[in-house]
Protein backbone atom coordinates (compact mmCIF):
# COMPACT_ATOMS: atom_id res chain seq x y z
CA UNK A 1 0.00 0.00 0.00
CA UNK A 2 1.45 3.32 -1.11
CA UNK A 3 1.08 6.52 0.83
CA UNK A 4 -1.90 8.69 0.01
CA UNK A 5 -0.86 11.51 -2.33
CA UNK A 6 -1.02 15.01 -0.92
CA UNK A 7 -2.59 18.32 -1.88
CA UNK A 8 -0.79 21.57 -1.15
CA UNK A 9 -2.84 24.39 0.34
CA UNK A 10 -2.03 28.06 -0.40
CA UNK A 11 0.00 28.45 2.80
CA UNK A 12 2.20 25.48 1.87
CA UNK A 13 0.52 23.00 4.21
CA UNK A 14 0.10 19.55 2.67
CA UNK A 15 -2.92 17.38 3.40
CA UNK A 16 -4.05 13.95 2.23
CA UNK A 17 -6.02 14.06 -1.02
CA UNK A 18 -8.29 11.35 0.39
CA UNK A 19 -9.99 11.83 3.73
CA UNK A 20 -13.20 10.77 5.43
CA UNK A 21 -16.49 12.65 5.60
CA UNK A 22 -18.98 12.46 8.45
CA UNK A 23 -22.29 13.55 6.96
CA UNK A 24 -25.11 11.65 8.73
CA UNK A 25 -22.80 10.62 11.57
CA UNK A 26 -23.75 11.60 15.08
CA UNK A 27 -27.48 11.24 14.42
CA UNK A 28 -28.03 8.00 16.32
CA UNK A 29 -26.40 7.29 19.66
CA UNK A 30 -26.50 3.54 19.01
CA UNK A 31 -24.20 4.01 16.00
CA UNK A 32 -21.65 6.08 17.91
CA UNK A 33 -19.10 3.33 18.60
CA UNK A 34 -19.08 2.16 14.96
CA UNK A 35 -18.72 5.73 13.69
CA UNK A 36 -15.83 6.49 16.04
CA UNK A 37 -14.15 3.24 15.00
CA UNK A 38 -14.57 4.10 11.31
CA UNK A 39 -12.93 7.50 11.71
CA UNK A 40 -10.08 5.95 13.69
CA UNK A 41 -9.61 3.26 11.04
CA UNK A 42 -9.49 5.89 8.29
CA UNK A 43 -6.82 7.79 10.20
CA UNK A 44 -4.80 4.62 10.73
CA UNK A 45 -4.97 3.95 6.98
CA UNK A 46 -3.59 7.40 6.22
CA UNK A 47 -6.87 9.19 5.50
CA UNK A 48 -5.90 11.80 8.05
CA UNK A 49 -8.14 14.61 6.79
CA UNK A 50 -11.47 14.42 8.63
CA UNK A 51 -14.37 16.60 7.48
CA UNK A 52 -17.36 17.45 9.64
CA UNK A 53 -19.79 20.32 10.32
CA UNK A 54 -21.88 21.79 13.10
CA UNK A 55 -24.92 20.90 10.99
CA UNK A 56 -24.21 17.17 10.91
CA UNK A 57 -26.22 15.48 13.62
CA UNK A 58 -26.76 18.89 15.22
CA UNK A 59 -23.17 18.81 16.44
CA UNK A 60 -23.18 15.05 17.00
CA UNK A 61 -20.74 14.38 14.16
CA UNK A 62 -18.25 16.81 15.66
CA UNK A 63 -18.51 14.89 18.94
CA UNK A 64 -17.84 11.64 17.05
CA UNK A 65 -14.73 13.19 15.50
CA UNK A 66 -13.65 14.56 18.86
CA UNK A 67 -13.79 11.11 20.40
CA UNK A 68 -12.05 9.51 17.41
CA UNK A 69 -9.07 11.87 17.42
CA UNK A 70 -8.57 11.90 21.19
CA UNK A 71 -4.98 11.01 21.93
CA UNK A 72 -3.87 11.45 18.30
CA UNK A 73 -4.72 15.07 17.54
CA UNK A 74 -1.34 15.75 15.96
CA UNK A 75 -1.98 13.11 13.26
CA UNK A 76 -5.22 14.62 12.01
CA UNK A 77 -6.22 17.58 9.85
CA UNK A 78 -9.65 18.57 11.18
CA UNK A 79 -12.14 20.41 8.97
CA UNK A 80 -15.48 21.75 10.16
CA UNK A 81 -18.11 24.06 8.73
CA UNK A 82 -20.42 26.72 10.14
CA UNK A 83 -24.02 27.59 9.26
CA UNK A 84 -24.81 30.69 7.18
CA UNK A 85 -26.87 32.06 10.09
CA UNK A 86 -23.69 31.98 12.18
CA UNK A 87 -21.69 34.03 9.65
CA UNK A 88 -21.93 37.35 11.49
CA UNK A 89 -18.99 38.39 13.61
CA UNK A 90 -20.63 37.82 17.00
CA UNK A 91 -22.32 34.56 16.11
CA UNK A 92 -19.31 33.12 14.30
CA UNK A 93 -17.02 33.53 17.27
CA UNK A 94 -19.57 31.70 19.46
CA UNK A 95 -20.12 28.99 16.84
CA UNK A 96 -16.41 28.36 16.54
CA UNK A 97 -16.07 28.07 20.32
CA UNK A 98 -18.91 25.53 20.37
CA UNK A 99 -17.38 23.52 17.53
CA UNK A 100 -13.96 23.44 19.20
CA UNK A 101 -15.61 22.34 22.45
CA UNK A 102 -17.42 19.45 20.74
CA UNK A 103 -14.21 18.45 18.95
CA UNK A 104 -12.22 18.96 22.16
CA UNK A 105 -9.45 20.80 20.32
CA UNK A 106 -7.84 24.20 20.68
CA UNK A 107 -7.35 24.98 17.00
CA UNK A 108 -9.36 23.99 13.94
CA UNK A 109 -7.12 23.19 11.00
CA UNK A 110 -9.69 24.45 8.50
CA UNK A 111 -13.00 26.25 9.07
CA UNK A 112 -15.45 26.51 6.17
CA UNK A 113 -18.44 28.74 5.50
CA UNK A 114 -20.93 25.91 4.72
CA UNK A 115 -22.93 27.81 2.13
CA UNK A 116 -23.48 31.46 1.49
CA UNK A 117 -26.12 33.32 3.47
CA UNK A 118 -27.21 36.94 3.87
CA UNK A 119 -24.34 38.28 5.97
CA UNK A 120 -21.95 40.56 4.10
CA UNK A 121 -18.84 38.66 3.05
CA UNK A 122 -16.61 41.41 4.40
CA UNK A 123 -17.98 40.85 7.92
CA UNK A 124 -17.60 37.07 7.71
CA UNK A 125 -14.05 37.29 6.37
CA UNK A 126 -13.10 39.80 9.07
CA UNK A 127 -14.47 37.43 11.73
CA UNK A 128 -12.59 34.48 10.22
CA UNK A 129 -9.37 36.47 10.12
CA UNK A 130 -9.91 37.35 13.80
CA UNK A 131 -10.26 33.64 14.59
CA UNK A 132 -6.98 32.97 12.78
CA UNK A 133 -5.25 35.79 14.66
CA UNK A 134 -6.54 34.38 17.96
CA UNK A 135 -5.28 30.87 17.17
CA UNK A 136 -8.75 29.32 17.17
CA UNK A 137 -8.52 28.55 13.44
CA UNK A 138 -5.39 27.84 11.43
CA UNK A 139 -6.95 28.68 8.04
CA UNK A 140 -10.39 29.11 6.55
CA UNK A 141 -12.33 28.42 3.39
CA UNK A 142 -15.79 28.17 1.92
CA UNK A 143 -18.21 25.56 0.64
CA UNK A 144 -20.76 25.62 -2.17
CA UNK A 145 -19.42 28.92 -3.55
CA UNK A 146 -19.89 29.35 -7.29
CA UNK A 147 -17.75 31.46 -9.62
CA UNK A 148 -19.50 34.76 -8.87
CA UNK A 149 -19.36 34.07 -5.12
CA UNK A 150 -15.65 33.30 -5.31
CA UNK A 151 -14.94 36.40 -7.39
CA UNK A 152 -16.77 38.55 -4.87
CA UNK A 153 -14.97 36.86 -1.98
CA UNK A 154 -11.56 37.40 -3.54
CA UNK A 155 -12.30 41.11 -3.87
CA UNK A 156 -13.05 41.53 -0.15
CA UNK A 157 -10.17 42.59 2.14
CA UNK A 158 -8.62 39.36 3.42
CA UNK A 159 -10.71 37.27 1.02
CA UNK A 160 -7.60 36.15 -0.81
CA UNK A 161 -6.70 34.04 2.21
CA UNK A 162 -9.37 31.48 1.29
CA UNK A 163 -7.70 28.06 1.23
CA UNK A 164 -10.39 25.68 0.04
CA UNK A 165 -13.78 25.59 -1.66
CA UNK A 166 -15.70 22.41 -0.85
CA UNK A 167 -18.20 21.64 -3.62
CA UNK A 168 -20.31 18.87 -5.09
CA UNK A 169 -17.97 17.35 -7.65
CA UNK A 170 -17.86 13.83 -9.02
CA UNK A 171 -17.93 11.94 -12.32
CA UNK A 172 -21.57 12.76 -12.93
CA UNK A 173 -21.38 16.38 -11.71
CA UNK A 174 -18.45 17.87 -13.57
CA UNK A 175 -19.76 21.41 -13.94
CA UNK A 176 -17.05 22.94 -11.69
CA UNK A 177 -14.40 21.94 -14.25
CA UNK A 178 -15.48 24.57 -16.76
CA UNK A 179 -14.82 27.81 -14.88
CA UNK A 180 -14.82 27.32 -11.10
CA UNK A 181 -11.87 24.97 -10.79
CA UNK A 182 -9.71 27.00 -13.19
CA UNK A 183 -10.41 29.99 -10.95
CA UNK A 184 -9.34 27.93 -7.94
CA UNK A 185 -6.16 26.84 -9.74
CA UNK A 186 -5.26 30.42 -10.64
CA UNK A 187 -5.21 31.30 -6.93
CA UNK A 188 -3.84 28.03 -5.54
CA UNK A 189 -7.18 27.24 -3.87
CA UNK A 190 -7.84 23.53 -3.33
CA UNK A 191 -11.10 21.93 -4.45
CA UNK A 192 -12.60 19.59 -1.86
CA UNK A 193 -15.07 17.21 -3.50
CA UNK A 194 -18.00 16.08 -1.41
CA UNK A 195 -20.30 13.19 -2.32
CA UNK A 196 -17.70 11.54 -4.60
CA UNK A 197 -20.04 8.66 -5.47
CA UNK A 198 -23.08 10.95 -5.69
CA UNK A 199 -24.79 9.51 -2.60
CA UNK A 200 -24.47 6.02 -4.09
CA UNK A 201 -26.01 6.80 -7.47
CA UNK A 202 -22.74 6.28 -9.31
CA UNK A 203 -22.49 2.77 -7.90
CA UNK A 204 -25.55 1.85 -9.95
CA UNK A 205 -24.19 3.20 -13.23
CA UNK A 206 -23.80 0.26 -15.62
CA UNK A 207 -20.97 1.77 -17.63
CA UNK A 208 -18.93 2.60 -14.54
CA UNK A 209 -19.62 -0.87 -13.14
CA UNK A 210 -18.33 -2.43 -16.36
CA UNK A 211 -15.09 -0.45 -16.19
CA UNK A 212 -14.62 -1.38 -12.55
CA UNK A 213 -15.26 -5.05 -13.27
CA UNK A 214 -12.73 -5.06 -16.08
CA UNK A 215 -10.07 -3.50 -13.85
CA UNK A 216 -10.98 -5.75 -10.93
CA UNK A 217 -12.00 -3.04 -8.47
CA UNK A 218 -15.25 -1.51 -7.21
CA UNK A 219 -17.15 1.28 -8.93
CA UNK A 220 -16.56 3.46 -5.87
CA UNK A 221 -12.82 2.99 -6.18
CA UNK A 222 -12.87 4.11 -9.81
CA UNK A 223 -14.96 7.18 -8.95
CA UNK A 224 -12.69 8.15 -6.06
CA UNK A 225 -9.46 7.41 -7.95
CA UNK A 226 -10.70 9.63 -10.78
CA UNK A 227 -10.98 12.51 -8.30
CA UNK A 228 -7.76 12.11 -6.35
CA UNK A 229 -5.61 11.69 -9.48
CA UNK A 230 -5.65 15.50 -9.60
CA UNK A 231 -3.12 17.21 -7.31
CA UNK A 232 -5.55 20.03 -6.46
CA UNK A 233 -8.56 17.87 -5.49
CA UNK A 234 -9.37 16.34 -2.10
CA UNK A 235 -12.12 13.70 -1.84
CA UNK A 236 -14.02 13.07 1.41
CA UNK A 237 -16.17 9.93 1.07
CA UNK A 238 -18.16 8.99 4.16
CA UNK A 239 -17.99 5.42 5.41
CA UNK A 240 -18.84 3.58 8.62
CA UNK A 241 -18.50 -0.07 7.63
CA UNK A 242 -14.82 -1.14 8.00
CA UNK A 243 -14.83 -2.89 4.61
CA UNK A 244 -16.12 0.31 3.03
CA UNK A 245 -13.34 2.33 4.69
CA UNK A 246 -10.72 -0.11 3.37
CA UNK A 247 -12.32 -0.01 -0.09
CA UNK A 248 -12.14 3.78 -0.15
CA UNK A 249 -8.54 3.76 1.00
CA UNK A 250 -7.52 1.39 -1.81
CA UNK A 251 -8.81 3.93 -4.33
CA UNK A 252 -5.80 6.14 -3.58
CA UNK A 253 -3.52 3.40 -4.95
CA UNK A 254 -5.51 2.92 -8.15
CA UNK A 255 -3.95 4.50 -11.24
CA UNK A 256 -6.36 4.98 -14.12
CA UNK A 257 -4.65 4.74 -17.51
CA UNK A 258 -5.34 7.11 -20.38
CA UNK A 259 -7.67 4.68 -22.13
CA UNK A 260 -9.79 4.34 -19.00
CA UNK A 261 -9.88 8.10 -18.47
CA UNK A 262 -10.99 8.56 -22.07
CA UNK A 263 -13.72 5.97 -21.58
CA UNK A 264 -14.90 7.79 -18.47
CA UNK A 265 -15.03 11.01 -20.46
CA UNK A 266 -17.27 9.29 -22.98
CA UNK A 267 -19.59 8.05 -20.23
CA UNK A 268 -19.52 11.27 -18.23
CA UNK A 269 -18.87 14.13 -20.61
CA UNK A 270 -16.87 17.09 -19.34
CA UNK A 271 -18.78 20.38 -19.41
CA UNK A 272 -18.78 22.43 -22.61
CA UNK A 273 -20.27 25.54 -21.02
CA UNK A 274 -20.69 27.17 -17.64
CA UNK A 275 -23.29 25.51 -15.42
CA UNK A 276 -24.72 26.67 -12.10
CA UNK A 277 -22.98 24.96 -9.20
CA UNK A 278 -25.03 22.04 -7.94
CA UNK A 279 -25.48 21.42 -4.23
CA UNK A 280 -26.79 18.66 -2.00
The reply to whether 143 falls in a domain is yes
The reply to whether 244 falls in a domain is yes
pLDDT at 2: 77
The reply to whether 272 falls in a domain is no
114 is in an annotated binding site: yes
The reply to whether 188 falls in a domain is yes
pLDDT digits (tens, 9 = 90+) for 148-175: 999 999 999 999 999 999 999 999 999 9
Q: What is the number of domains present in the chain?
A: 1
Residues 208 and 267 sit within 8 Å (Cβ to Cβ): yes
CATH of residue 68's domain is 3.20.20.100
The reply to whether 280 falls in a domain is no
The reply to whether 273 falls in a domain is no
Q: Assign 10 to helix, strand or coil.
A: coil
Mean pLDDT of the 188-192 span: 98
Q: pLDDT band for position 264 (50/70/90)?
A: very high
Mean pLDDT of the 169-195 span: 98
Mean pLDDT of the 21-34 span: 96
- Mean pLDDT value across the chain: 97
The reply to whether 153 falls in a domain is yes
pLDDT at 86: 98
- 136 vs 106: CA distance, rounded Å: 6
**Ramachandran bin of 199, using left for φ above 0, alpha for ψ from -120 to 50, beta for the remaining angles:** left
pLDDT at 243: 97
Query: Looking at the annotation, which residues are catalytic?
Result: 56
Mean pLDDT of the 65-74 span: 97
pLDDT at 1: 64
**H or E, element range at 149:** helix 147-155
Q: Is the pLDDT of residue 106 over 90?
A: yes
pLDDT at 135: 98
The reply to whether 24 falls in a domain is yes
Mean pLDDT of the 111-124 span: 97
Where in the sequence is the domain holding 32, given as residue range(s)? 6-267
Handedness of CA 15, 18, 19, 23 (dihedral sign): positive
Mean pLDDT of the 102-125 span: 98
Q: Assign 108 to helix, strand or coil.
A: strand
Mean pLDDT of the 28-54 span: 97
pLDDT digits (tens, 9 = 90+) for 237-261: 999 999 999 999 999 999 999 999 9
Residues 272 and 243 sit within 8 Å (Cβ to Cβ): no
The percentage of the chain sitting over the pLDDT mark of 70, rounded to a whole number, equals 100
Amino acid sequence: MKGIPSCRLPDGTTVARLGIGTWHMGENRSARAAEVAAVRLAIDLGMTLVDTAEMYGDGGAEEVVGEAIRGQRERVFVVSKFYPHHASRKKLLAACDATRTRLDIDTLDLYLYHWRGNVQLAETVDALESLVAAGAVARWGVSNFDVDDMSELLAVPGGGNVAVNQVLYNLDRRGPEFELMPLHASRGIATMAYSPVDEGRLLRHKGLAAIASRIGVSAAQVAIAWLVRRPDVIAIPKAVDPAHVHDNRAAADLVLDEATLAELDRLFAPPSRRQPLEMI
